[in-house]
Amino acid sequence: VAYIPTLPDALALMVGIFHEYAGKDGNACSLNKGEFKDLIDAQFPQVFQNSKDKEGIQKLMNDLDRDKSGEIDFTEYMTFLASLAVVCNEYLLESLKGGKKPCK
Amino acid sequence: VAYIPTLPDALALMVGIFHEYAGKDGNACSLNKGEFKDLIDAQFPQVFQNSKDKEGIQKLMNDLDRDKSGEIDFTEYMTFLASLAVVCNEYLLESLKGGKKPCK
């Protein structure tokens, strides 16, 4: 029987990947612009095709950087991932429309 | 070479597990009390050992239910998971103290 991944696995993966990139240089508890770009390029190659667009990646960072520290801390990173999950979920529900309506 | 899970895998898992439980009965887009309790029991058996404590699970639900709908919608669920990830991350950093300091 294959191991079925659980929510703690997903959480551990999110924590681990953050530190894999945040630890590259400078402050090991936050992602600077280069680290954030590397993370996006590696983890979301299809979704953010324009990460070579320097203006786009800077705009995304500015949006996520709530405390205007110039870097993405762990809480800001999790807010970003939670927003992506909400978008994924809405896309899923939208794609199911026309078939069995998933929600009341 | 083993497949290395990525952030989209973690997001898909979170979306999938939400619907696995939310779809059990009633509104398929939110977790009612029974569905939320089943999810916590199955996914976090070690962390929330007191989910048999009906008062505890109700208190947690009340805290998460920002819009006071009586159920946990997807956004509230993601806020919960993001909070758990932040706690995991702080626990990890705390456990590393005394050794090499991970952050400036």
Q: In chain B, which residues have their Cβ closer than 8 Å to the Cβ of A10?
A: 9-11, 13-14, 81
Whether residue B64 lies within 8 A of chain A, CB to CB, comes out as no
Q: In chain B, which residues have their Cβ closer than 8 Å to the Cβ of A85?
A: 11, 14-15, 74, 78
* ipTM surpassing 0.85: yes
CA distance linking residue B76 with residue B69, whole number of Å: 11
Q: Quick check: helix, strand or coil at residue B58?
A: helix
- Per-residue DSSP letter, A51: G
Please report whether residue A103 resides in a domain. Answer: no
CA distance linking residue B83 with residue A75, whole number of Å: 8
Please report whether residue B58 resides in a domain. Answer: yes
Distance from CA of B73 to the nearest CA of A (A): 10
Distance from CA of A91 to the nearest CA of B (A): 11
Please report whether residue A28 resides in a domain. Answer: yes
Please report whether residue B1 resides in a domain. Answer: no
Return the amino acid letter for A77.
Y
Give residue-wise pLDDT tens across range A24-82. 988 889 999 999 999 999 999 876 666 567 788 889 999 999 999 999 999 999 999 99
Asked if A11 lies within 8 A of B74 by C-beta distance, the reply is no
Q: The CATH number of the domain where A33 resides is what?
A: 1.10.238.10
Out of A8, A28, A84, the one facing B11 most closely (by C-beta) is A84
What pLDDT score does A51 carry? Answer: 57
What pLDDT score does B95 carry? Answer: 86
Please report whether residue A1 resides in a domain. Answer: no
One digit per residue, the tens of pLDDT, for chain B of length 104 reads 788 999 999 999 999 999 999 999 888 899 999 999 999 999 998 766 665 677 888 899 999 999 999 999 999 999 999 999 999 999 988 887 755 656 65
Out of A11, A88, A92, the one facing B81 most closely (by C-beta) is A11
Please report whether residue B45 resides in a domain. Answer: yes
Please report whether residue B101 resides in a domain. Answer: no
Asked if A89 lies within 8 A of B27 by C-beta distance, the reply is no
Whether residue A95 lies within 8 A of chain B, CB to CB, comes out as no
Asked if B13 lies within 8 A of A29 by C-beta distance, the reply is no
Please report whether residue A102 resides in a domain. Answer: no
Whether residue B87 lies within 8 A of chain A, CB to CB, comes out as no
Alpha-carbon distances, residue B19 vs A1, A55, A63, A101, B30 (angstroms): 23, 36, 29, 13, 8
CA distance linking residue A37 with residue A59, whole number of Å: 12
Total structural domains within chain B: 1
Out of A13, A27, A79, the one facing B5 most closely (by C-beta) is A13
* Ramachandran angles phi, psi of A40, nearest 5°: -60, -45
Domain residue limits at B27:
7-96
User: Residue A74 in contact with residue A66, Cβ under 8 Å?
Assistant: no
CA distance linking residue A96 with residue A88, whole number of Å: 12
